[in-house]
A and B are shown apart, each in its own frame.
Chain A
Amino acid sequence: MAIRAAELLKSIDVPVLNRVEDHFVGTFVAMASPCTVLVDTDDRAEAEGLLEIAEAEARRIEQKFSRYRRGNLVDRINHSDGRPIEVDEETALLIDYAVTCYEMSDGMFDITSGVLRRVWTFDGRSGVPSESAVYQCLRHVGWWRVAWEKPALRLPTGMEIDFGGIGKEYAVDRAAALIGASTRCSYLVNFGGDLYAARRRRGDRTWGVGIDDPTRTGESALFRLDVATGGVATSGDARRYVRWRGKRLGHILNPKTGWPVVDAPSSVTVIGRTCMEAGTLSTLAYLQGPDARAYLEEQDVQFWIV
């Protein structure tokens, strides 16, 4: 009973629904991020129901794919000790998506790179790890070392997978799809800054989305985007970085060198047809370092680089 209560406390955050001017704003915390659902309606019960749907989906995905949860599938994969693990259809498709990203980025986007976080601490204060520590870690990084024969995944001992790079965007798109199926209202789902909006608002309006100034997070928005339908995602080093030789090194690591991407922009924001598309493109662009802008210009998408 007590343990259950603790699990509940760990996983639950109080969802709150408020009316703001002409729409409802629901908030909760999941995936270690503030989550917001905007619904363009006057019907509180409807907004409440949609908030509940979004929250349940966010928690389901967090429970299933977070590498911090004991006993879930990712945890079992990461503790499989070289044994093959059979995964379900949803996980298989997510892995396939990650493989597509890996191939399209020539190995720069790699779901096995999370192991590097054992040696890197991005709290703004800590220094950089030793060369040998990074080298030791790199022996456990690289999707090419993994045997993926759908539906069986075999990870060599010492390696880990982490859906952190796509999980939140996936949760946004899924929650948005579920909400879209149960309402005719315009809505926007924002999980920790990655978002998806659908339909034009009443009175032919759009949702206004601010892009944060990466140096002053949460204080002022640099730009305002007007989004009717589509996904928006941002990659950057807003909060998590280390200082090294006068440089800010962001938390996105290059899986080939084991070091943060050098000379990357502070933040890359992309608008895509889905939140996943936007998130993947912004991450892939960020991984290009100083060539982020050129990279995105080739992709024929709307983007902002700060």
Chain B
Amino acid sequence: MRVQLESGKRSTPLREMLHTAALGLLLVPATAKAGDPTDRIDVTSLLYGEQGRTQVVEPVVRFTHLFADGQSISTQLSIDVITGASPTGALPSGVVQTRTSASGHVITSPAGAIPMAPFHDQRFGFDGEWQKPFARIFTSTVGGHFSREKDYQSLGVNGKLSTDLMNRLVTITIGGGINHDSVFPVGGTPIGLSDGTVVHSGSNSKDVKNVLLGGSRILTRRWMMSVNGSQTFESGYLTEPYKLISLMNPATGAPVGTLTDKRPSTRNRSSVLLSSVYHLSDDILYTSYRYYWDTWSVRSHTIDVKYRRDLDTDSYVEPLVRYYRQSAASFFTIGLPQGAPLPDFATSDYRLGKLQTITIGATYGTRFEDIPGDWTVRAQYMRQFGDSSPPNAIGIQRNFDLAPPVNIVAFVIGYSFGY
């Protein structure tokens, strides 16, 4: 079917009408982001659970306002509720072990089980960030944060400057931040490597300075790579006040008592992150490798692979695999033999021991016809392996699994809405 226009009569009026309409359109000043959302609310809620250990619920609300000139301001409020139990660091006893916690509860551990200390805490955090582009190729970001929980407070500021070079092929970022934290353990701060009965009151400070340097480069239409290096200097009270180290009978390995944790008062951490984003015809492949090392002799490797696939214009799925491996800190020990001279520093905190974690998970993002905004659901399963039979285990400790694998699941539900 074709429509025949009435000939002759409309010719000039048609051109004139089109021309007039086009000119009207071309005279409108270009409004940078007109029609696009200028405010955005992101709500996420994390549910994290370690089998038989810690459970975390963390709702986060973030509000972002975009100004017409490209500036943006965002603020974020987060609340963590942490409950559960965490390994104290003490060894399995072979007999029922008992211990009194700071809150006055008496806890017992079955023979052969890793002793755990229950806890319940809430953390409240507030973050703010201001981003401003200037002189066409620069973007500056300044931010600050404050968080507080029962026995910990953190206050920090940070800044970042990015510049685009070579027609935006290359982006260079430099940044830094300072943090001042205070640790005020419930029941006072125990003296390190003591039986924990002598405590001093008041708070302990911890200062953190951080610098970072990064560069990213677009190599082809589809491929971008980046390198980021960061250096962090920590000083002050870096010990975990609630962690314990078992004193062992040097012959049988049976625990005869516990000592408190003690760590050096400085720690310099370094890391290098290499990442790649490859855009296939529709899908996106992310890969990254991170190497980390610090002055406590902890070295770690992280390999991360993610693959994003758009299912249709409204939804996508993004599976993920991660492998993490770290070596133990130089002063990590499963326990100390009774009677031997004490080292300067010691910890039995599993997080400073030899550790491997395998993570598999996936993110699914979608929108619904009748509700505005984007929804995401992320599920992750992690399995953490420690050093189950360390070579320096003695006596009965050889019979126990000193680092049973831990199963961890995490769910994140997110909702993002622009208006």
Contact = CB atoms under 8 A, between A and B. Distances in A.
A234 interface: no
A93 B25 contact: yes
Nearest to A301: B15
Interface string A285-306: 0001101001100111100000
A2 B286 contact: yes
Contact of B21 (A5, A60, A100, A174): A100
B34 A90 contact: yes
Given A14-B169, A79-B369, A300-B11, A88 B26 contact: no
Contact of A60 (B10, B30, B168): B30
B30 A97 contact: no
Classify chain A's interface size: 35 or more
Interface SS of chain B: mixed
B8 interface: yes
A9 interface: yes
Nearest to A5: B277
A150 interface: no
B1 A90 contact: no
A276 B18 contact: yes
Contacts of A116: none
Given A100-B18, A277-B18, A280-B18, A2 B167 contact: no
B19 interface: yes
A254 B28 CA distance: 31
A107 B32 CA distance: 32
B227 to A, nearest CB: 13
A10 interface: yes
Contact of A178 (B3, B30, B221, B374): B30
Given A2-B306, A81-B369, A89-B34, A9 B279 contact: yes
A104 B37 CA distance: 34
A87 interface: yes
B251 interface: no
Interface in A3-60: 5-6, 8-10, 12-17, 29, 48, 52, 57, 60
A87 B3 contact: no
A61 to B, nearest CB: 9
Interface in B4-37: 4-5, 7-8, 10-12, 14-15, 17-19, 21-26, 28, 30-37
Contact of B17 (A60, A81, A100, A273): A100
B222 interface: yes
Given A29-B221, A301-B15, A173 B34 contact: no
Given A73-B35, A100-B17, A9 B167 contact: no
A64 B1 CA distance: 34
A121 interface: no
A71 interface: yes
A32 B169 CA distance: 19
A209 interface: no
A135 to B, nearest CB: 14
A256 interface: yes
Interface string B361-397: 0000001011010100000000000000000000000
B313 A10 contact: no
A16 B218 CA distance: 13
Interface of A: 2, 5-6, 8-10, 12-17, 29, 48, 52, 57, 60, 63-64, 68, 70-73, 76, 79, 81, 87-91, 93-94, 96-97, 100-101, 104-108, 170, 173-174, 177-178, 254, 256-257, 262, 272-274, 276-277, 280-281, 288-289, 291, 294-295, 298-301
